[in-house]
Amino acid sequence: MVKIEIDEEACVGCGSCVEDCPNDVYEMDEEKGKTKVVKEEDCMACLSCHEICPAQAMEHHDIHVAKRLYIDRKVKSVLDKMI
Amino acid sequence: METEEVKGTFKPELIPEECGGDIDDYEEALHVLMKFVGSMSSALEQVSGRGANAIVYQAGKRMGHEAGKLVEKTDDLEKALQELSEILGMEFYFEMWKPSGQDEYITENNGETVVKLLFMDCVVRQTLRRTGLPQKGPLCYLLYGYMVGAVEEVMDIKGKLDIDHVGPNACLKTLTIKWSGK
């Protein structure tokens, strides 16, 4: 099953992931002003939340990671050396 | 970057002994094709507007009907999807999906059969990301047409595929079967 971790220190509480998730996996924790995971079992690992999160505050574990053949391997190897 | 020209002898042959090229050549070809297809899709949209979706859908549907001919005809939707998944292969890897509160993958609704499909690996999505184009555009209709064409061919019924949600790692689509449309 998918496991989702939210880095509460990184989360800015913008609520973008709450709005974007089609399966209502997230909710806002009004007390903390941060996102919390409420329906992990409904996550289909589309990773829209990753794309929209301005703080890159989440991690998904145990998911099918889609192939990324669109990434140029030569460019990637140069970036790996730089970063 | 300098490219090395390969010179050799070419003889008429039934089965080529040598395909040539290493992984870098294939990668380069794949990326050129992605850029080419992305550029074509965007030009098509510019010229034909929303008609672009219909054109690409029709192309996909034709491919789907061809692919469906390779599968044994059946009335069992689950079996048909299983076989189509094998034909589509790992480049369009999909599974049936349901929310946790739902008991079965396949549900009935007003005489229609509905199943949600989660497309995890998709060459179309990769092409869009390679060329910086948004998802849900004309190219996504290729897969839409392909699935509908293949299901129609295998099950001899009418179907439609709606895009529920698109993401960078997976896309959720709803396949609706109209049994009365035989």
pLDDT in tens, B89-107: 777 889 999 999 999 999 9
**A68 has a chain B CB within 8 A of its CB:** yes
CA distances from B14 to B11, B17, B18 (A): 10, 9, 12
pLDDT in tens, B115-172: 999 999 999 999 999 999 999 989 999 888 988 898 889 888 888 888 899 999 999 9
Question: Is residue B17 very low, low, confident or very high in pLDDT (cuts 50, 70, 90)?
Answer: confident
CA distance A30 to chain B (A): 25
pLDDT value at residue B97: 94
- Count CB atoms within 10 A of the CB of residue B89: 9
Look at B1 and A58; give whichever has higher pLDDT: A58
User: What topology is assigned to B23-181 in CATH?
Assistant: Muramoyl-pentapeptide Carboxypeptidase; domain 2 (3.30.1380)
Q: Which CATH class is domain A3-82?
A: alpha beta
Question: Is residue A3 very low, low, confident or very high in pLDDT (cuts 50, 70, 90)?
Answer: very high
CA distance B103 to chain A (A): 13
pLDDT value at residue B164: 93
Tell me the DSSP string of B78-133.
Answer: HHHHHHHHHHHGGGG-EEEE--TT-S-SEEEETTEEEEEEEE-S-HHHHHHHHHTP
pLDDT value at residue A54: 96
Nearest CB partner across the interface for B168, out of A23, A41, A47: A47
> Which residues in chain A have their CB less than 8 angstroms from residue B127's CB?
70
Amino acid letter at A73?
Answer: R
pLDDT value at residue B180: 59
pLDDT in tens, A6-61: 999 999 999 999 999 999 999 999 999 999 999 999 999 999 999 999 999 999 99
pLDDT value at residue B15: 76
